Amino acid sequence: MDEIDLRAILAVSDVTLEPSERDDERANRLAAEKRGKLHEDIKGMVIFFVVLIILAAIAGLCAYTIFFDKAAAPDAQKWAQTALTALLSGGVSFLFGRALAAK
């Protein structure tokens, strides 16, 4: 009959014994985790919308320089076209990337 060496099994793993969590401690921990998750979600949404507003302002400035500012230098218009193209292609890539990642 084969013998099982428990010392070899226990040498590679840790065994810890902890007292079970009381109901009030569990409720407090779950509430704290829920508040932390909500805080992270709100922070992420605020950062996303701030970045989105900044990018929209830059795109608006570039569009104004391209289409309406007739006194702008040709180099400034080329720069604005390049920046607007980069913003639009990046935005489309972002939206399609998120749509494909959801599938």
- 10 in a structural domain: no
- Residue 80: Cβ-neighbour burial (10 angstroms; 0-12, 13-18, 19+): buried
φ/ψ of 22, rounded to 5, equals -75, 160
Q: What is the percentage of the chain residues whose pLDDT exceeds 70?
A: 96
How sure is the predictor about 1, in pLDDT bands with cuts at 50, 70 and 90?
Answer: low
Residue 52 lies in a domain: yes
- Does 95 fall in a domain? yes
In a domain, 33, yes or no: yes
Residue 9 lies inside a defined structural domain of this protein = no
Domain that holds residue 54: 18-102
Find the helix packing angle between 74-102 and 23-67, rounded to 10°: 150
Mean pLDDT of the chain: 89
Total domains, the chain: 1
Q: CB under 8 Å to 66, separation ≥6 — which residues? A: 77, 80, 81, 84
